[in-house]
Amino acid sequence: MEKDKKKYTIEDIARELGVSKTTVSRALSGKGRIGRETVERVQAFVAERGYRPNVIARGLAQSRTYNLGLVIPMEDTDVSFFKECMGGICEKASEYNYDVIMAIMKEDRLTQLHRLVANHKVDGIILTRATVESGAVRFLKEQGIPFVVIGPSDDLEVMSIDNPNREASRELTALLLMKGLRRLSLIGGNSRHYVTQSRKQGFLDAHRDRGFHADDALIFMEVEDYRKAMWAVNRILLAESDGIVCMDDNISALVLGCLRERGVEVPDRIRLASLYDSHQMEQNLPPVTSLHFDTKELGRNACMEMLRMLGEELLQEPQRLNYQVILRESTK
Amino acid sequence: MEKDKKKYTIEDIARELGVSKTTVSRALSGKGRIGRETVERVQAFVAERGYRPNVIARGLAQSRTYNLGLVIPMEDTDVSFFKECMGGICEKASEYNYDVIMAIMKEDRLTQLHRLVANHKVDGIILTRATVESGAVRFLKEQGIPFVVIGPSDDLEVMSIDNPNREASRELTALLLMKGLRRLSLIGGNSRHYVTQSRKQGFLDAHRDRGFHADDALIFMEVEDYRKAMWAVNRILLAESDGIVCMDDNISALVLGCLRERGVEVPDRIRLASLYDSHQMEQNLPPVTSLHFDTKELGRNACMEMLRMLGEELLQEPQRLNYQVILRESTK
DNA sequence: CTGAAAGCGCTTACAG
DNA sequence: CTGAAAGCGCTTACAG
């Protein structure tokens, strides 16, 4: 059943063609001076014989692996984010004849990452959000391994590929203002995080654009648990805010819970929107208006930046990252 | 910032230690006759220097890659299945110092798989369900590449690692019988599929165990669309069945829809259970009683069988695959 | 434009 | 028990 697995090597090709390995190698890689005719002859022969060079051997000769490591956290709940992202990464990687090796990180343990690096199995590493806070960045810097981060980074030294949070937040906020809302409040988490700042900026941008003034008293940061959320919600209700913008879906869920406890109806009494969508927003009651980002493209872009760092010449520049405002019942 | 990336090679170690590369190699691999003392000396030195052999170079010398390919379909909706599975695979693979390379299959296109194989990048391939029907199996057989399949396989020549469908179906059915249900119906899909047969067997087993007789008139196969489901549901209602067992979650959803259209309440008028759980069952209204399998362990097992095929000596035998019956409102 | 040779970092008969 | 040498399948100065 198994075909003769007589694997062709460059040597076989060279012999059968009556040229040297050097010539075959050059004809296939296109590097070095070589006759057009020879190139064609070799390529035709190789195509017919179905010969494909052994990428691993090539890698060894060039001290490369043509592998990218992708580190993802086992605990991340947003599975579809991760899958889409991976889809984009794999797609791009294969265009450049790279492969991607998975490293799954459990409870911030770096073991898998260490293995990958120690075994010399990858040329570079792509870190996804949430794997960043684990010491992975420090480790990779120390080792001098090229890496990029998908998601926001507070560290300016790292190459971070992220969604256009500021612009998107601005657009969603603008839409709410257009709907006639005038006393929007904003609830966010850790204000030292870069992502928090960008989303806040977008919120402010939208107000400024239309000549409105965002009320500082309606902006709440460091809201990270139910207690804090309830505190913010109470003040928001007292201040007669007409809409709440939450920075992400977790905060959104918290706030929705608070409003329910207080018996406040959404959207009738107050509108609600989220600056991030995790496929769960749709399931909420009521479904929450939110921003949707193109995760697959995010993955593609990250991969391209990684390849660029590795010295690959990009066939095309990364596309601008897109997003959509998805209007749902919570802002009806 | 970057440390001196003076990568240690086996040659450096040999020189500094005043022995030959051969000796170092043997001390590290444990193969070949070599003095206990020498081994210890080398290992200590290597540990101190933080030297780790280049797995790729080793691979080349041994004509292996220490990589496993994992093929998953882009279209599969059950993302958490795939992630858990992958978690199990990566976990086991790394125990044996293998890595796993992703190949994502879009619309049954085998391009990625072809690349992986043509580039000589993997020693074996793990196929997940749904990638099986795509000609991947034929391709791998032709190429003589070792592979295993996660999920049911109708082809006896392929090594398939699957959930214990028969036993699990039997247990769930037994539970329903214990609850006093006496006229259970069964709805399944394509009866040529091996998985369909095992689930049906389990259903029958449970009846036989308790001396009951499963009514053939209540068993419906080849139910693959709404029309067929409605047809089956109508007959089931006419026959005064007191409970419906669906073979998987898709059928479950169809049937639930039919019952709703007919205005039949679950569980009040009729009970419903599913022989497969995809995290979506919980979200149904009402939540549907179903079987839950240990997907991560499934991944581990598949990986171990793959490694065994590659000639690795397993550190421990694969565990029996476990499952749970999750009782939800639909059978209250 | 083409080739012989050294090298990438390992392993493994073979000889001692 | 240990080592010199050939080899895994490529690439790439260097020389012609």
Q: Evaluate if the CB of A280 falls below 7 Å from strand C.
A: no
Residue A157 CB partners (closer than 8 Å, separation 6+): A141
Same domain, A157 and A215: no
Identify the domain boundary among B61, B79, B107: B61
Instruction: Please report whether residue B71 resides in a domain.
Output: yes
Going by pLDDT thresholds of 50, 70 and 90, the confidence category of residue A2 is very low
Same domain, B99 and B13: no
Per DSSP, chain A holds a count of helices (H) and strands (E) of: 12, 11
User: Is the pLDDT score of A217 beyond 50?
Assistant: yes
Measure, in angstroms, how far nucleotide D2 C1' is from residue B15 CA.
15
Q: Are residues B246 and B188 in the same domain?
A: yes
Are residues A223 and A142 part of one domain? no
CA nearest neighbour of A275 among A326, A329, A232: A326
Q: What is the average pLDDT value for chain B, to the nearest integer?
A: 91
Residue A330, domain member (yes or no):
no
Average pLDDT rounded to a whole number, residues B209-217: 93
Q: What is the pLDDT of residues A106-120, one digit of tens each?
A: 888 899 999 999 999
The residue range of the domain holding B6 is 2-61
Task: Give whole-number Cα distances, A150 to A71, A88, A248, A323, B294, in Å.
Answer: 10, 12, 17, 16, 30
Report CA B280 to chain centroid distance, whole Å: 18
Q: Is position B265 within any domain?
A: yes
Q: Are B181 and B278 in the same domain?
A: yes
Res. B2: pLDDT tops 60: no
* Domain count within chain A: 3
Preferred mutation among A49, A119, A125, A140 to probe B, highest tally of B CBs within 10 A = A119
pLDDT value, residue B30: 84
Do the domain assignments include residue A183? yes
Residue A193 and residue A50 share a domain: no
Q: What pLDDT, on a 0 to 100 scale, did the predictor assign at position B233? A: 96
A178 in the same domain as A255? yes
pLDDT band at A95 (very low <50, low <70, confident <90, very high): very high
Q: What is the CATH number of the domain that holds A156?
A: 3.40.50.2300
B279 lies in some domain: yes
Contact A71, A41 (CB under 8 A): no
Check: CB of residue A190 under 8 Å from CB of residue A222: yes
Q: Are residues B134 and B71 in the same domain?
A: yes
Residue A35 CB lies within 7 Å of the nucleic strand C: yes
Residues 6+ apart with CB under 8 A from B242: B181, B182, B183, B184, B270, B271
Residue A1 has pLDDT above 90, yes or no: no
Q: Could you tell me if A10 and A76 lie in one domain?
A: no
Q: Does the CA dihedral B191-B192-B198-B202 come out positive or negative?
A: positive
- Positive or negative, the CA dihedral B259, B262, B266, B271 is negative
pLDDT of B134 above 80: no
Hey, how many other C-beta atoms are within 10 angstroms of the C-beta on A143?
Answer: 16
Out of B55, B82, B97, the one facing A120 most closely (by C-beta) is B55
The enclosing domain of A51 has a CATH number of 1.10.260.40
> What pLDDT score does A281 carry?
65
pLDDT at residue A282 in the model: 67
pLDDT at A3: 40
Q: CB-based contact (8 Å) between A285 and chain B?
A: no
| A332 within domain boundaries | no
Residues A92 and A175 occupy one common structural domain: no
The one-character DSSP state at B169 is H
Asked whether residue B222 is domain-assigned, the answer is yes
> End of a domain among A61, A87, A106?
A61
pLDDT digits (tens, 9 = 90+) for A192-210: 888 899 999 999 999 999 9
Same-domain check for residues B173 and B262: yes
Instruction: Say what the pLDDT of residue B7 is.
Output: 76
**pLDDT above 70 covers what percent of chain A?**
96
A285 versus A289: the higher-pLDDT residue is: A289
Residues A279 and A299 in one domain: no
Q: Is B47 among the domain residues?
A: yes
